[in-house]
Amino acid sequence: MKYRLGIDVGGTNTDAVILDEANKLIAKCKRPTTQDISSGINQAVEAVLDISKIDPSSIQHAMLGTTHATNAIVERKGLARVGVLRLGAPCGLALPPMMDWPDDMPAHIGSNYRMVRGGYEYDGKFISRPDKSEIESALSELKELGIEALAVSCVFSPVNGDQEMEASEIARKIFGDDFSISLSSEVGTLGLLERENATILNAAILNIANNAYSAFQNILKQHKITADLFITQNDGTLMAVDYARKYPVFTIASGPTNSLRGAAFLSGLSDCVVVDVGGTTTDVGVLKAGFPRESSMAVEIGGVRTNFRMPDLISIGLGGGSLVKSDDDQVRVGPESVGYRITEEALVFGGSTLTATDVAVASGQFSLGDPGLVSKMDKGVRERANVRIKSMVEEIIDRMKTSAGDIPVVLVGGGSIIVPKELKGASEVIVPDNFDVANAIGAAISQVSGSIDGVFDVATKGRDAVIAEVKQAAIEEAIRAGADEKTIEIVDLEEIPLAYLPSNAVRFRVKAVGELK
């Protein structure tokens, strides 16, 4: 029997699960997330191996969802000094790299950039011909400035990545083979500044990510686990650890995505609304064909604007530890919360703070701690708090739905016991088994993907030929990422006409997904 180990590092808890070949849950556990992250992971791995009693060498794949990358950027810790090479001049000189960054960032990563000739038009023509000697001298200047990592961007590189590749080959000669180089065509989609920003952030966190992954590999080694290691990314698919070492920026915000994917797996539904309730916040997302719906908005990470493929989520300040406050006839629930101190401060645990969990226990929705401690709760307060919680969740579900009809709702997360099982807009409310470790399960069952995003001229080739071409390109990307060719399917095909001009330029975004080989 071969097993999978799934680990998810959350703000409060680090969860670990082991699944068998049929994806049946063998063991699960929760351990507090530690300051250094690694020791929490170590404790969780140790515990879950103990519980399962399996031979560690029979674990074939290990999947980790971690917050290392996000924390480094938000807390500005241990970031590398990055040099930026942008190909595209004379285009873009009006808006140099990093111009819209938070004022405190240059102190951490510098503001060293060079803009050189190159770049493409939407149809692949050169904006200007790249000049090897210009690139060489720009890179030599960046080297003089003492940069520790390089980010390369190029106008319309999502359509053609050749110039970035050529520039990185020149950089290899100047900086040596071990130098960290990030290419924007590998990092993001159309929108030069956002893609360039993401590439720079990626270059800045390479070292931190590498150390984290090495630490994780050591933990596995200590426990005699010889599995291939994968890291979960924010679109709900996996990266092999060697690829994650090059592009750690994709791991940002993978936590909520893991919960959504876990909810899909546990409930068996591929199209539903997922309500993930933690101790302090509730995230609501939508699954479409088994994958989280992606946000169309620009996402800021630590004050830097990016265009990551983030799940479309609404978060509200409602969780198991939310404070319940009543004045006159008004009852408020959240956004303040006792968080992880719930086991000391909630009434059912002998504390003195009225929380949403106490209301749920007093209403008989769930038994936890000592229900006797809340049996005397004021009926009016209890009822009004329940009405408030219900309406908060219902409104968010309504906002997230894509059509007017009712849709199944899946409740996951440790705090979801506070949500009533009858909700307006829900065709049914499902609380699956193991709802409390949906995120780690989501990590364990993740697949691999390949995506294409570019502008194509449909006039010359014809729309059908272009669609066939982009689909094939996405499938090849997925195979490169480690997918089993037989299981690959196209899960997303978006056709975005370019407004304002009667030309036949159309933007296609395609994603192919498959099972791990």
* Contact positions with other proteins (CB under 8 A) in 66-95: 88-95
Handedness of CA 57, 63, 69, 71 (dihedral sign): negative
Minimum CB separation of residue 455 from other proteins in Å reads 7
Site size for other proteins (CB under 8 A) = 44
* Contact positions with other proteins (CB under 8 A) in 251-310: 296-298
DSSP character string of 350-395? T-SB-BHHHHHHHTTS---S-GGGGTT--HHHHHHHHHHHHHHHHH
Minimum CB separation of residue 149 from other proteins in Å reads 24
Residue 38 or 185 with smaller CB distance to other proteins: 185
Residue 155, interface with other proteins (CB under 8 A)?
yes
Give the closest residue to 167 by CA, choosing from 119, 96, 104.
Answer: 119
Residue 339 or 425 with smaller CB distance to other proteins: 425
Q: How far apart are CA 383 and CA 328, in angstroms?
A: 14
Residue 404, interface with other proteins (CB under 8 A)?
yes
Residue of the chain from 77, 125, 421, 424 that contacts other proteins (CB under 8 A): 125
Residue 40 or 158 with smaller CB distance to other proteins: 158
Handedness of CA 310, 311, 314, 319 (dihedral sign): negative
Q: How far apart are CA 477 and CA 233, in angstroms?
A: 16
Residue of the chain from 141, 398, 422, 489 that contacts other proteins (CB under 8 A): 398
Tokens 């290392």 label which residue? 68
* Contact positions with other proteins (CB under 8 A) in 5-24: none
Minimum CB separation of residue 282 from other proteins in Å reads 16
Residue 155 or 470 with smaller CB distance to other proteins: 155
Give the closest residue to 110 by CA, choosing from 76, 154, 133.
Answer: 76
Q: How far apart are CA 7 and CA 27, in angstroms?
A: 12
Residue 330, interface with other proteins (CB under 8 A)?
no
Residue 499, interface with other proteins (CB under 8 A)?
yes
Residue of the chain from 455, 466, 491, 513 that contacts other proteins (CB under 8 A): 455
Minimum CB separation of residue 86 from other proteins in Å reads 10
Part in contact with other proteins (CB under 8 A); list of ranges 20-28, 51-59, 73-81, 494-502: 494-502
Part in contact with other proteins (CB under 8 A); list of ranges 54-62, 114-122, 134-142, 164-172: 114-122
Find the radius of gyration of the CA atoms of the chain: 25
Part in contact with other proteins (CB under 8 A); list of ranges 5-13, 16-24, 222-230, 392-400: 392-400
Residue 343 or 504 with smaller CB distance to other proteins: 504
Q: What is the dihedral of CA 296, 300, 301, 302, to 10 degrees?
A: -170
Residue 105 or 483 with smaller CB distance to other proteins: 105
Residue of the chain from 82, 127, 229, 252 that contacts other proteins (CB under 8 A): 127
Residue of the chain from 31, 507, 509, 511 that contacts other proteins (CB under 8 A): 507
Minimum CB separation of residue 314 from other proteins in Å reads 10
Residue 100, interface with other proteins (CB under 8 A)?
yes
Q: Are 68 and 78 in contact (CB under 8 A)?
A: no
DSSP character string of 170-218? HHHHHH-TTSEEEEHHHH--S-HHHHHHHHHHHHHHHHHHHHHHHHHHH
Residues 350-353: contacts with CB within 8 Å, 24+ apart?
353/323
Residue of the chain from 69, 348, 360, 400 that contacts other proteins (CB under 8 A): 400
Residue 493, interface with other proteins (CB under 8 A)?
no
Minimum CB separation of residue 160 from other proteins in Å reads 12
260, containing H or E segment:
helix 254-267
Residue 317, interface with other proteins (CB under 8 A)?
no
* Contact positions with other proteins (CB under 8 A) in 167-206: 190-193
Which positions ≥6 away from 393 have C-beta within 8 Å? Answer: 275, 282, 284, 318, 419, 423
The two structure tokens encoding residue 67: 């917050």
- Backbone phi, then psi, for 9, in 5-degree steps? -95, 115
Part in contact with other proteins (CB under 8 A); list of ranges 74-82, 124-132, 324-332, 438-446: 124-132
Q: How far apart are CA 398 and CA 153, in angstroms?
A: 40
Residue of the chain from 211, 391, 497, 517 that contacts other proteins (CB under 8 A): 497
Residue of the chain from 461, 490, 505, 515 that contacts other proteins (CB under 8 A): 505
Give the closest residue to 260 by CA, choosing from 450, 443, 490, 3.
Answer: 443
- Backbone phi, then psi, for 390, in 5-degree steps? -60, -45
Q: How far apart are CA 140 and CA 83, in angstroms?
A: 11
Residue 122, interface with other proteins (CB under 8 A)?
yes
Question: Where does this chain bind other proteins (CB under 8 A)?
Answer: 88-95, 99-100, 119, 121-123, 125, 127-128, 155-156, 190-193, 296-298, 398-404, 455, 496-503, 505, 507
